[in-house]
């Protein structure tokens, strides 16, 4: 607990990013949904950091994680890198509009952004890397997103006090 006082919420969120990245790129045969859940948690955390802790260092973070996700999960650079950077650029363009929204509207946009990210990644991996668009896998992602979305938001707001 003493150690956690030295870390600000942005650092804590970055630690969550590292942990969820590590778990999502190491497959567990007995628990494949653990990989999927942490893969979604990574996206949730990244969107949260961009929405509430925007800073230009996030471009470097997005670049590093995008490359690593692409190499470890797709063996080629493309889908994740493009998606993460596009998210940052879209946020930069729409920031003025997002500030005016109520908290419920932001949460709704947060969820839509998450699903869009997962969908765009699947589409790009199909277009660039020749991995078929898997509806059952996307449906699985959607279900897991529904389950972990509210607890994650609650956890993040607790972290942010």
Partner 1 sequence: MAPKFQIKVFHLSRFIKNFTIISVVTLSFLLVFFSKTDYYIINGVKNISSSVIIPITRFITAPINVFSNFIDEYNQFRSLKFENKILQEEIIRLKKWQTLAIQNSRENKVLKKLLNATDNNLTLIKTASLINRNDTIYSKLINLNAGYEDKIKKNMSAINERGVIGKIIDTTAKNSRVILLTDPNLSISVKSISDEIFSLLTGNGDGKYLVSSFVKENKMPRLGDIVVTSGTAQIFPVDLLVGKVAKVEKNRFFVLPFVDFANIDYVQIVTSK
Determine if 132 is a binding residue for partner 1 (CB under 8 A).
yes
Helices (H), 53-102: 57-69, 79-99
Among the listed ranges 6-14, 78-86, 93-101, 147-155, the one in contact with partner 1 (CB under 8 A) is 78-86
Count of CB atoms within 10 A of residue 36's CB? 17
**Residues 141, 40: contact at Cβ < 8 Å?**
yes
Collect all residues with Cβ–Cβ distance below 8 Å to 148 and sequence separation of at least 6: 37, 40, 41, 44
Nearer to partner 1 by C-beta: 31 or 108? 31
Closest CA to 114 of 89, 85, 80, 149: 149
- And the tokens for 48? 């949260």
Judged by CB under 8 A, the residue of 14, 125, 145, 152 near partner 1 is: 125
Contact characters 46-65, partner 1, x per CB under 8 A: ----------xx-xx-xx--
Q: Least Å distance between CB 107 and partner 1?
A: 26
**Residues 39, 147: contact at Cβ < 8 Å?**
no
Judged by CB under 8 A, the residue of 7, 8, 11, 18 near partner 1 is: 18
Site residues, partner 1 (CB under 8 A): 18-19, 21-32, 34-36, 39, 56-57, 59-60, 62-63, 66-68, 70-78, 81-82, 85, 89, 125, 128-132, 134, 137
């Amino acid at each position: 607990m003493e150690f956690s006082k030295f870390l600000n919420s942005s650092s804590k969120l970055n630690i969550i990013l590292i942990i969820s990245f590590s778990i999502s790129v190491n497959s567990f045969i007995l628990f494949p949904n653990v990989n999927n859940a942490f893969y979604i948690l990574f996206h949730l955390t990244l969107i949260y950091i961009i929405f509430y802790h925007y800073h230009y260092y996030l471009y470097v973070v997005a670049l590093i994680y995008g490359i690593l996700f692409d190499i470890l999960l797709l063996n080629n650079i493309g889908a994740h890198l493009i998606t993460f950077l596009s998210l940052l650029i879209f946020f930069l363009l729409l920031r003025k509009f997002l500030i005016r929204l109520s908290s419920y509207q932001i949460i709704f946009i947060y969820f839509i952004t998450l699903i869009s990210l997962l969908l765009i990644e699947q589409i790009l991996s199909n277009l660039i890397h020749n991995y078929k668009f898997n509806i059952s896998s996307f449906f699985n992602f959607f279900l897991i997103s529904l389950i972990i979305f509210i607890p994650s938001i609650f956890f993040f707001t607790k972290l942010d006090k």
